Structure 1
Amino acid sequence: MEKALASNLLQLASAYGAATSLSDSTIGRLCAADGRFFSRIRDGATFTVKKYDEVIAWFSRQWPEGAEWPADVPRPVIIPEAAE
């Protein structure tokens, strides 16, 4: 399962980078506060489910207009925060 989740994150980073011309390190800093986040995943590093959820939610909220979300990566439904 972890390999599938890692694959999802790497696919999103690749597609997002292609759509925005941002590097993996910049995307990692933006979505995970870690410029080496994606290179570590490629090297086999693990991550928590919480971090996965945070990163995939970030991608969903920040996804570029007109860019196609990878078809085999489930996209989370982001519920807007309630106005106070």
Structure 2
Amino acid sequence: MDTMASFFSLVERFCEAERIAEATLSSRLFNDGKRIAALRSGRDIGVLRLARAVAWLSEHWPDRAEWPNGTARPEKPQGDAAR
């Protein structure tokens, strides 16, 4: 699965589990409610910005949702172990 397909899979599962619109998640991730839709239509995103979005999703992932198979999940930074 390519990087963007993996990202969109995360977006779909997160939105379904949280029962939120994709635009709502887009606002949370990018402070832009139209960014995910723009990415779906072929717009570009920087590697670091995408990595931060995936890290945010991992950190806020709903307990009731399964992380998609075939999509690498970022490890929590060591500082988070004390939380």
Same fold, judged at TM 0.5 (above): yes
Return the TM-score normalized by structure 2. Answer: 0.88
Q: How does 1:1-84 map to 2 (within 5 A)?
A: 4-81=2-79
Indicate the RMSD between aligned Cα atoms, in angstroms.
1.7
- Measured in 2, the distance between the counterparts of 1:65 and 1:47 equals 28
Moved over 4 A (4+): none
Compute the TM-score of the two structures, normalised by the length of structure 1: 0.87
Structure-1 separation of matches of 2:35 and 2:78: 26
Q: For structure 1, which runs of at least 5 residues remain unmatched after alignment?
A: none
Please list every run of 5 or more consecutive structure 2 residues that lacks an aligned counterpart in the other structure: none
Moved more, 20-29 or 3-12: 3-12
